[in-house]
Homo-oligomer: A and B are copies of this chain.
Amino acid sequence: MVRSEPVNPGAAPKIPRPVTLRESVFEAILELIISGGLGPGQHLAENELAEMLGVSRQPVREALQMLSGEGWVDLRPGHGAFVHAPTVEEADQLLAVRTLLETESARLAALDPTAGGTARLREICARGRAAIEADDIDAAVAANSELHALITELSGNKVLAELASQVARRVRWYHTPVARHRGHASWEEHALLIDAIEAGDQERAEQIMRDHTEHTRQSYMEQRAQSPDEPAPAPQRRRRPRSLSAS
């Protein structure tokens, strides 16, 4: 009667596992986009997705709307959903916004270092370094995301944290390959940042975060400049694109 949910086993109230189909579908499609299984500009036919995932079109539609809300797909009325194809300009702007949001987060986090998050920050930082040493890019990227997410949380501003997390997810999609580029330097900066937060030095925390995210941004833009065609610059195809099965 009373829902089979075990009322949170342990102490992990975060990450509310999807209970509705639309949420599962949302995550499935998002995973496909991030992993590259669905390329930018690709048409997402509801029928195919529904069939592939073994559900009806309804939850697929709703998942697509959610994805559209977060900027992952573009919804053209009467035409359907297309994987969002970020232009170089947009990626740059997104990274700039990330800099803005996370810089403020770092400042706010330093405002009240007694919140006790620095220990967790250091733990994540250690994991990140270890991942780099082990040449485990995926783990390093994950740790990076986790670190930045925790800092936004420690800012104490939930609205800010929510916005930053959305932006960060998209950024992560864009610049995953960058992590390969400047792994060690990045984690050195993280360590300094944590020091500043722990010391309650707002200005320093702000400055380090700004420099850090700007480094990442420049690194991305340089890499992108070297291989300008790789991330598919918005094909804008007129003819009906090949759909899922063709990929």
Contact = CB atoms under 8 A, between A and B. Distances in A.
B61 A160 contact: no
A27 to B, nearest CB: 14
Contacts of A167: 159, 163
A141 B69 CA distance: 26
Interface in A80-125: 90, 93-94, 96-97, 100-101, 104
A145 interface: no
Contact of A90 (B20, B61, B158): B158
A56 interface: no
A159 to B, nearest CB: 4
A175 to B, nearest CB: 15
Contacts of A70: 69
A30 to B, nearest CB: 14
Report the interface size class on chain A.
Answer: 20 to 34
Contacts of A101: 100
**Number of identical monomers bound together in the oligomeric complex:** 2
Interface of A: 19-20, 23, 61-62, 65-66, 69-70, 77-78, 90, 93-94, 96-97, 100-101, 104, 157-160, 163, 167
Contacts of A90: 158-159
Contacts of A66: 65, 69
Contacts of A65: 62, 65-66, 69
Given A66-B69, A93-B160, 8 more contacts: A65-B69, A90-B159, A93-B158, A94-B159, A96-B157, A97-B157, A97-B159, A100-B100
A170 to B, nearest CB: 9
A157 B94 CA distance: 8
Contacts of A104: 100
B19 A97 contact: no
27 contacts: A19-B77, A19-B78, A20-B77, A20-B78, A23-B77, A61-B62, A62-B62, A62-B65, A65-B66, A66-B69, A69-B70, A90-B159, A93-B157, A93-B159, A96-B157, A96-B159, A97-B157, A97-B159, A97-B160, A97-B163, A100-B100, A100-B101, A100-B104, A100-B160, A159-B167, A163-B163, A163-B167
